[in-house]
Amino acid sequence: MLNSKTPPQFARAKLSPLAVEVPSCCQDERCSTAPEPDVLPDNGDRYSWIVTGMDCAACARKVENAAKQVPDVQQVQVLFATEKLLVTAARDVRKEIEKAVSAAGYTLRDSAAPAVKAPSGWRENLPLVTLIVMMAISWGLEQVNHPLGNLAFIATTLVGLWPIARQAVRLMRSGNWFAIETLMSVAAIGALFIGATAEAAMVLLLFLIGERLESYAANRARRGVSALMALKPEVATRLRNGERETVAQSELRPGDVIEVSAGGRLPADGRLLSETASFDESALTGESVPVEREKNDKVPAGSTSVDRLVQLEVISEPGDSAIDRILRLIEEADERRAPVERFIDRFSRIYTPIIMAIALIAAVVPPLLFGQSWGEWIYKGLALLLIGCPCALVISTPAAITSGLAAAARRGALIKGGAALERLGQIQHIAFDKTGTLTAGKPQVTAIEAMDSLTENELLALAAAVEQGSSHPLAQAIVREAKERALTLPATDAHRALAGIGVEATVDGERLLLSSPTKLPADRLSAAWQQRITELEAEGQTVIVVIQQTSLLGIIALRDTLRSDAREAIAALKNIGVQGIMLTGDNPRAAAAIAAELGMDYRASLLPADKVSAVNEMNALQPLAMVGDGINDAPAMKAATLGIAMGSGTDVALETADAALTHNRLTELAGMIGLARATHNNIRQNITIALGLKAIFLVTTLLGLTGLWLAVLADSGATALVTANALRLLRRR
């Protein structure tokens, strides 16, 4: 039941009309009945490549379009963050795909092949440097000799135009008729024909500068992913029959014993065979302090052995280590584009041909119908063509989202895509699981009270015997306490878990039940015991009742401790206007004690189905995030607007969640939400910059106040501003 501090009633949150794939569907894209276009089908063979040469999300679409032209291709997907091309086809289409993508101007290599060294910055920037030099020479000649300067500008234009026009032709052959390269080529050639040679050259120069800025932004955003991929060493030292051998990390299999020297990184997830060792896991968890591991502890791939030579047993399959799983989540994040990004993508495909049609009308209608000057209106038409380039608009959303996701990952928060990032920014209420999320998840025995016929140790030994083998935190705490007291446990059999009640077993022929007091018949406990249990629960302790047959043997009280950062995290959320509520299966009095320490509301005695009902109820009033770490939290996380998993949680919780705190720091929740909100503001700013500059220059061009030079600034300049604005998110604290 809800405590007396009833949470305030919130009005239904109004989401942006862009927050869905189909505007008339619903507020959450997951409820759409339409098939998800980004999910590859299971039928057919699947092939993958690494794509080089992509500078922005628009390039990814060009690669997709080129691959889709190949017959028998069922589905194509480009994962921009990891530069992967995934293709599902009914037959072997590898050679045809490679030929089609190459014809579109991009290079493919097998995803399993070793990485190719990136070209030097000098070679990469050579076309731009060449054009700048030629532009300077042309301008100098123009000052002393106009005809010679005019020829120099023509030569500069042709040199700059050649790679752009060649790429435009390639893209048209691959099905991309309205690419930015096509618009630039038409504008530059048109400017040459009407004698605007200097402006033609400047248009191409500004375009190439914009391209380099886009490439810089893409590389900055992908740098974190590249660093993650480089964490796993290519080779490992494997021990077999007492002999050391150097093998590729892809050859390691579960059960292999490997050796990692001091300062070396783990090539796979491992189980420590050495007695103790310190590992630097900061690359994966963001935690700068080395972690002390003991024998049989699990250590994730990419961790560094700090101070000694260690031996480990490999426990992960090739391609399924902690690093590989994070990379897969990043790839999935790239698939799940934000609804606003999808809208902008679709809008730009319609917008570009419309702008080309308007530019054509502006160039020919005034001269034909009103006797205006052909040169003047062709010039204005070309300027409109450049103003209408969708580059800045197309990159406005993915640039911000990519920067936002990269900034979150760097802080130890993995968000699965733009759609999740968009929903995260709308969250005003967060529901927390208690055990393992708000608390440390390691309860300790705080009190043992037995009937006169038993001692404390005898009662504890009986309870520990029944709880042996259980994975429940309370059971493990009881067994751990018995071991610390060096108690001998009696033999048990007929173990049985009673769903929602407790656990029972047979000891010396007697049925022994461990249960919550609330699950027992009302007459089973005397008034004195009821009062004592109430006192313990009021202190925030969980009480386990030990029953033999029908007789009470005693009670055991346990208490879970708060996470060290729980209070700070809840306070930080309140500061940004996000309210928290605790959902727990624990009893109301124990839940009330924890909630009081944190100053938050709670609902207690909830089964997994009850948590789902509570989440659905609150979600109907306001977008809600659910934070949890266990299998029992997964349904509620799925029901919420957004599910957030603790990094130490179960695989099921991590798979279900839309985001994960990889370093387990609750204090990052407020930072995640703040970053999501900043990303949304950044997107709005970027769209305003992109469309605002176009609107201004559209009017000034039609009035004859601005020409081609400033027209290209409406796109290349806007692209540069949008990119720079998005990169600010990477510096956000």
Q: What is the pLDDT of residues 549-561, one digit of tens each?
A: 878 889 999 887 7
What is residue 338's three-state secondary structure? coil
Distances (CA, A) of 391 to 10, 51, 184, 211, 633: 40, 20, 11, 10, 43
The β-bridge relationship of strands 257-260 and 310-314 is antiparallel
CATH number for the domain that contains residue 483? 3.40.1110.10
| CA 52 to chain CA mean position, Å | 23
Q: Residue 529 pLDDT > 50, yes or no?
A: yes
Greater confidence (549 vs 281) lies with 549
Mean pLDDT of 85-110: 86
Whole-number Å distance between alpha carbons of 281 and 132: 46
The verdict on residue 400 lying in a domain is no
Mean pLDDT of 297-307: 83
pLDDT digits (tens, 9 = 90+) for 621-633: 999 999 987 656 7
- Closest to 467 (Cα-Cα) out of 459, 476, 458: 476
pLDDT of residue 17: 27
pLDDT of residue 206: 73
> Is the CB of residue 284 less than 8 Å from the CB of residue 294?
no
**Is residue 433 among the annotated active site residues?**
yes
The verdict on residue 372 lying in a domain is no
The verdict on 606 and 622 lying in the same domain is yes
Model confidence band, residue 347 (pLDDT cutoffs 50, 70, 90): low
Greater confidence (183 vs 87) lies with 87
Greater confidence (553 vs 390) lies with 553
pLDDT of residue 508: 84
Greater confidence (612 vs 387) lies with 612
The verdict on residue 206 lying in a domain is no
Least confidently predicted of 85-99, 273-287, 358-372, 468-482: 273-287
- Single out the residue in 664, 689, 707 at which a domain terminates: 664
pLDDT of residue 678: 94
CATH number for the domain that contains residue 59? 3.30.70.100
> Is the CB of residue 12 less than 8 Å from the CB of residue 621?
yes
> Is the CB of residue 159 less than 8 Å from the CB of residue 130?
yes
Distances (CA, A) of 699 to 387, 472, 685, 708: 11, 69, 21, 13
Least confidently predicted of 11-15, 400-404, 531-535, 595-599: 11-15
The verdict on 570 and 600 lying in the same domain is yes
| CA 325 to chain CA mean position, Å | 12
Three-state helix/strand/coil letters over 264-276: CECCCCEEECCCE
Q: Residue 570 pLDDT > 70, yes or no?
A: yes
The verdict on 431 and 502 lying in the same domain is no
Mean pLDDT of 346-356: 71
The verdict on 66 and 114 lying in the same domain is yes
- Single out the residue in 287, 318, 349 at which a domain terminates: 318
Task: Please name the helix (run of DSSP H) or strand (run of DSSP E) that holds residue 497, with its range, or none.
Answer: strand 492-498
The verdict on residue 652 lying in a domain is yes
H helix runs in 12-145, sequence order: 57-68, 94-103, 121-124, 126-144
- Letter for the amino acid at 715? D
> Is the CB of residue 186 less than 8 Å from the CB of residue 203?
no
The verdict on residue 61 lying in a domain is yes
Portion of the chain with pLDDT greater than 90, in percent: 14
The verdict on 461 and 550 lying in the same domain is yes
Model confidence band, residue 492 (pLDDT cutoffs 50, 70, 90): confident
Query: Whole-number mean pLDDT of the chain?
Result: 78
Mean pLDDT of 250-261: 90
pLDDT of residue 218: 58
Q: Residue 78 pLDDT > 70, yes or no?
A: yes
- Single out the residue in 501, 529, 559 at which a domain terminates: 559
The verdict on residue 264 lying in a domain is yes
Q: At 71, list the tokens.
A: 């017959």
The verdict on residue 177 lying in a domain is no
pLDDT of residue 670: 93
pLDDT of residue 28: 37
Instruction: Tell me which residue range forms the domain holding 647.
Output: 415-440+563-664
Least confidently predicted of 20-24, 95-99, 173-177, 396-400: 20-24
pLDDT of residue 193: 78
Residue 279 main-chain phi, psi, to 5 deg: -130, 135
454, with CB counted inside 10 A (0-12, 13-18, 19+), is: middle
CA angle 160, 718, 176 (to 5 degrees): 55
Q: Where are the beta strands (DSSP E) in 179-308?
A: 235-240, 243-248, 257-260, 270-272, 276-280, 291-294, 298-299, 304-305
Which of the listed ranges 254-263, 284-293, 322-331 does the model predict with the highest average pLDDT? 254-263
The verdict on 117 and 52 lying in the same domain is yes
Q: At 553, list the tokens.
A: 């043997």
Q: Of the listed 55, 334, 433, 633, which one is catalytic? A: 433
The verdict on 484 and 582 lying in the same domain is no
The verdict on 483 and 548 lying in the same domain is yes
Calculate the CA dihedral of residues 294, 272, 321, 246 and round it to 10 degrees.
150
The verdict on 475 and 487 lying in the same domain is yes
Model confidence band, residue 733 (pLDDT cutoffs 50, 70, 90): low
The verdict on 572 and 436 lying in the same domain is yes
Greater confidence (344 vs 692) lies with 692
Mean pLDDT of 605-626: 87
Model confidence band, residue 7 (pLDDT cutoffs 50, 70, 90): very low
Least confidently predicted of 3-17, 586-600, 707-721: 3-17
Whole-number Å distance between alpha carbons of 567 and 570: 5
> Is the CB of residue 177 less than 8 Å from the CB of residue 358?
no
pLDDT digits (tens, 9 = 90+) for 132-160: 899 899 999 988 888 899 899 999 999 98
Q: Residue 562 pLDDT > 80, yes or no?
A: yes
pLDDT of residue 322: 74
CATH number for the domain that contains residue 286? 2.70.150.10
- Closest to 259 (Cα-Cα) out of 321, 302, 313, 295: 313
In the numeric block, the tokens 């109907």 are attached to 620
The verdict on residue 378 lying in a domain is no
Greater confidence (558 vs 418) lies with 558
Model confidence band, residue 682 (pLDDT cutoffs 50, 70, 90): very high
Give the Cβ contact number of residue 539 at 10 Å: 13
pLDDT digits (tens, 9 = 90+) for 648-674: 654 555 666 788 887 778 888 999 999
Greater confidence (608 vs 70) lies with 70
- The count of domains in the chain is 4
CATH number for the domain that contains residue 590? 3.40.50.1000
pLDDT of residue 84: 81
Mean pLDDT of 402-416: 80
Query: Model pTM?
Result: 0.57
Q: Residue 4 pLDDT > 50, yes or no?
A: no
Model confidence band, residue 600 (pLDDT cutoffs 50, 70, 90): very high
The verdict on 584 and 435 lying in the same domain is yes
State the DSSP string of 134-154.
Answer: HHHHHHHHHHH-HHHHHHHHH
Mean pLDDT of 58-64: 77
- Closest to 359 (Cα-Cα) out of 377, 384, 378: 384
The verdict on 528 and 627 lying in the same domain is no
Mean pLDDT of 186-212: 77
pLDDT of residue 543: 87
200, with CB counted inside 10 A (0-12, 13-18, 19+), is: buried
- Closest to 538 (Cα-Cα) out of 490, 595, 481, 492: 595
Residue 81 main-chain phi, psi, to 5 deg: -60, -35
What is residue 475's three-state secondary structure? helix
Portion of the chain with pLDDT greater than 70, in percent: 78
Model confidence band, residue 330 (pLDDT cutoffs 50, 70, 90): low
Mean pLDDT of 219-226: 57
Model confidence band, residue 677 (pLDDT cutoffs 50, 70, 90): very high
